[in-house]
Structures are given as structure tokens and as C-alpha cells.
Amino acid sequence: MKASDYANSSPREVRQLIREGKWTLPTPGMCKGHVQGNLVVLPRDLAYDFLVFAQRNPKPCPILDVTEPGDPEPKIVAPGADISTD
């Protein structure tokens, strides 16, 4: 299978494949019509400065969601997701 075979899949379906280890390749081309973002994990003492930087530079570095320390669920953009496994 290739990523484009999942173009019409929902993000939830693709996250489940990844969570189960059934998909381990890059995901561009999957879930047509949905945004794909990058994950940035920072120590707490750097997080605020990065957030300010990103807010001042929204085109190259948009903030899609922010989680609390220890909480792996991006509640705004992917409720039910787990960034530690998906």
C-alpha cells in the first residue's frame, strides 16, 4: 500500500493504523482535505518563548494545538489522538 491509497481515509482511521504499527511510512498524501502538521516537543522552560515566536511568525510556524505537560491528547485538532503513539 502507498500513502495515496489512504487519500480518502479519515485522520482518525490513519492514526489508528499508525497506533497499531500497521503504517510506519511518511503520511503526505493521506487524508485529503486535512492539514498535516509537525510536532514540536520542548522542555517547559522553553515552551512559552517558542509559543511567542510562533505567534509572531504564523505563516512558517502555525500553532495548531498546545497540550499540557504529560497530556498526549491534542484536544483541539485531534480529540482522542495520542501524540505519543499516533
For 9-34, what is each residue's pLDDT tens digit?
Answer: 999 999 999 999 999 999 999 999 99
The reply to whether 14 and 27 lie within a common domain is yes
Q: What pLDDT, in 10s, does the model give residues 34-69?
A: 988 889 999 999 999 999 999 999 999 999 999 999
Q: What is the number of structural domains in the chain?
A: 2
C-alpha to C-alpha distance for 40 and 14, rounded to whole angstroms: 20
Domain that holds residue 46: 39-68
pLDDT at position 31, please?
97
CA dihedral angle for residue 9, residue 13, residue 14, residue 16, rounded to 10 degrees? -170
81 belongs to a structural domain: no
Alpha helices by DSSP H, the chain: 11-19, 44-56
The reply to whether 4 and 31 lie within a common domain is yes
10 belongs to a structural domain: yes
CB of 64 within 8 A of CB of 77?
yes
Average the pLDDT over 59-80 and give the result: 94
pLDDT tier at 1, thresholds 50, 70, 90 = confident
55 belongs to a structural domain: yes
77 belongs to a structural domain: no
pLDDT at position 67, please?
95
pLDDT at position 9, please?
98
The reply to whether 27 and 44 lie within a common domain is no
The reply to whether 32 and 44 lie within a common domain is no
The reply to whether 4 and 26 lie within a common domain is yes
pLDDT at position 24, please?
96
